[in-house]
């Protein structure tokens, strides 16, 4: 028999898998499942981006690239980050196959056995797994009692972190809550990071998807440039999940260390995908606005429909998720909802916050209406 490493035995199979397995099983039996559990936009990749990828393939951009990514893409990323108020050079950027790989490399570079990492709950599922695989310990701050906002929970964060805290991960707009943290909240993070010499990952993958607010990039705050690693990617804003393209930007010493891991594992992101990434950054303003507009309308629709059933949710300011308050046993609620109503959602406990289910509104208005109607009919609202 094989013996597996501690780093893997520490990690649980994802709770979301149980839900997808149930959904697949039901669908195979012929059921029509309304899938509100998905973490990806339901739009095609903009055609000009697809064309750029195809043209790059035809032009022979099919070999290895420099490990950190082609210079033209890193230059386009420098410009994108500058638009967000972040100053970086091409030497401070690594292009990765997805933001997930970026996060993995940063955490592997910074976190070893017993190092402490602080998370704001509910937090995206993979942060916990990545920290555990690196041998790190987690300190978790619950934002569910403050409508998922960080500003009212700053005292709790102050309590949670110390000089022993190595890393704090901030994700605004947030998956799974859609919360966008206020400038005052980010300033509070800054003060604590400076006081305790904490490195901060700012996962800004949903930054382009907001409704009437402009999220501030943490790295723009005074005192944060040399302690912030900004992570972003193409999956959500440009509907490019399957292309696998993301990046991180941070202090050059971090880039040099993480670069070793990058070059000895993935080598580089896919060559022609990187070419398509340039097009995505430079020529998709209209396509992105259209997608955000559609998400915005669906968000209002879902909030209104839930209100009609007397369900109050914390209205999200970004991303395409919201947290529905459900029974304490959210796992059982989600399993019941899919079995009885054929509506798939993700239990809040997967994100560290029991008592909620995450709804994704990256679905058509018709399917959203259908899903909520079924939940109500089956007594789940």
* Cα 95 to Cα 101: distance, rounded to the nearest angstrom: 9
Judged by CB under 6 A, does residue 175 bind ligand PLP?
Answer: yes
Stretch that binds ligand PLP, among 97-105, 184-192, 254-262, 353-361 (CB under 6 A): 97-105
Q: Which residues does 32 contact at the CB level (< 8 Å), separation at least 6?
A: 342
Joined together, the tokens standing for residue 298 give: 């669906």
Judged by CB under 6 A, does residue 95 bind ligand PLP?
Answer: no
The site string for ligand PLP over 27-66 (x = CB under 6 A, - otherwise) reads ------------x---------------------------
* Cα 260 to Cα 109: distance, rounded to the nearest angstrom: 9
Stretch that binds ligand PLP, among 51-59, 96-104, 181-189, 326-334 (CB under 6 A): 96-104
Q: What is the smallest separation between the CB atom of 32 and ligand PLP, expressed in angstroms?
A: 25
- Indicate the residue among 98 and 348 with the shorter CB distance to ligand PLP: 98
**Cα–Cα–Cα angle for 364, 370, 375, nearest 5°?**
130
Return the DSSP state at 339: I
Q: What is the smallest separation between the CB atom of 377 and ligand PLP, expressed in angstroms?
A: 30
- Indicate the residue among 292 and 376 with the shorter CB distance to ligand PLP: 292
Choose which of 178, 219, 233, 318 interacts with ligand PLP (CB under 6 A): 233
Judged by CB under 6 A, does residue 243 bind ligand PLP?
Answer: no
Q: Which residue is nearest to ligand PLP (CB)?
A: 98
- Indicate the residue among 231 and 305 with the shorter CB distance to ligand PLP: 231
Choose which of 235, 268, 331, 345 interacts with ligand PLP (CB under 6 A): 235
| DSSP track, 18-66 | HHHHHHHHHHHTT---EE----S-SSPPPHHHHHHHHHHHHTT--S---
Distances (CA, A) of 24 to 17, 29, 115, 360: 10, 9, 38, 18
Report how many residues bind ligand PLP under the rule CB under 6 A. 13
Joined together, the tokens standing for residue 188 give: 């509070």
Residues 33, 338 contacting (CB under 8 angstroms): yes
Residues 194, 158 contacting (CB under 8 angstroms): no
Choose which of 61, 100, 207, 299 interacts with ligand PLP (CB under 6 A): 100
- Indicate the residue among 61 and 244 with the shorter CB distance to ligand PLP: 244
Return the DSSP state at 139: E
The site string for ligand PLP over 123-162 (x = CB under 6 A, - otherwise) reads -x--------------------------------------
* Cα 354 to Cα 336: distance, rounded to the nearest angstrom: 15
Residues that bind ligand PLP (CB under 6 A): 39, 98-100, 124, 171, 175, 203, 205, 233, 235, 241, 246
């Amino acid at each position: 028999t094989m013996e597996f490493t501690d780093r893997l035995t520490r990690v649980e199979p994802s709770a979301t898998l149980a839900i997808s397995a149930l959904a697949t099983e039901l669908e195979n039996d012929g059921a029509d499942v309304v899938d509100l559990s998905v973490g990806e936009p339901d739009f095609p990749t903009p055609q000009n981006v697809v064309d750029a990828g195809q043209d790059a393939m035809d032009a022979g951009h099919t070999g290895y690239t420099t490990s950190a990514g082609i210079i033209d893409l890193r230059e386009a990323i420098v410009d994108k980050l500058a638009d967000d108020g972040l100053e970086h050079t091409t030497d401070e950027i690594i292009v990765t196959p997805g933001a997930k790989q970026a996060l993995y490399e940063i955490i592997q570079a910074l976190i070893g056995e017993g190092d402490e990492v602080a998370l704001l709950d509910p937090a995206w599922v993979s942060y916990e797994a990545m920290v555990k695989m690196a041998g790190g310990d987690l300190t978790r701050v619950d934002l569910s009692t403050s409508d998922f906002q960080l500003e009212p929970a700053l005292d709790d964060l102050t309590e949670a972190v110390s000089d022993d805290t190595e890393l704090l991960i901030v994700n605004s707009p947030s998956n799974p809550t859609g919360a966008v943290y206020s400038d005052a909240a980010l300033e509070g993070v800054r003060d604590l990071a400076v006081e305790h010499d904490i490195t901060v990952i700012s996962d800004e993958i949903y930054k382009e998807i907001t409704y009437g607010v402009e999220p501030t990039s943490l790295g723009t705050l005074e005192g944060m440039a040399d302690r912030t690693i900004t992570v972003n990617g193409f999956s959500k804003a440009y509907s490019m999940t399957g292309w696998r393209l993301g990046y991180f930007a941070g202090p050059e010493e971090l880039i040099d260390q993480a670069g070793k891991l990058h070059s000895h594992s993935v080598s580089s992101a896919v060559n022609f995908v990187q070419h398509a990434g340039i097009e995505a950054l430079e020529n998709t303003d209209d396509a992105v606005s259209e997608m955000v507009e559609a998400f915005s309308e669906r968000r209002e629709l879902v909030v209104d429909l839930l209100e009609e059933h007397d369900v109050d949710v914390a209205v999200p300011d970004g991303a395409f998720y919201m947290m529905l308050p459900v029974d304490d046993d959210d796992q059982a609620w989600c399993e019941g909802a899919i079995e009885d109503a054929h509506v798939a959602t993700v239990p809040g406990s997967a994100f560290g916050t029991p008592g909620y289910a995450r709804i994704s509104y990256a679905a058509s208005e018709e399917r959203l209406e259908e899903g909520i109607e079924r939940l109500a009919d089956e007594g789940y609202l």
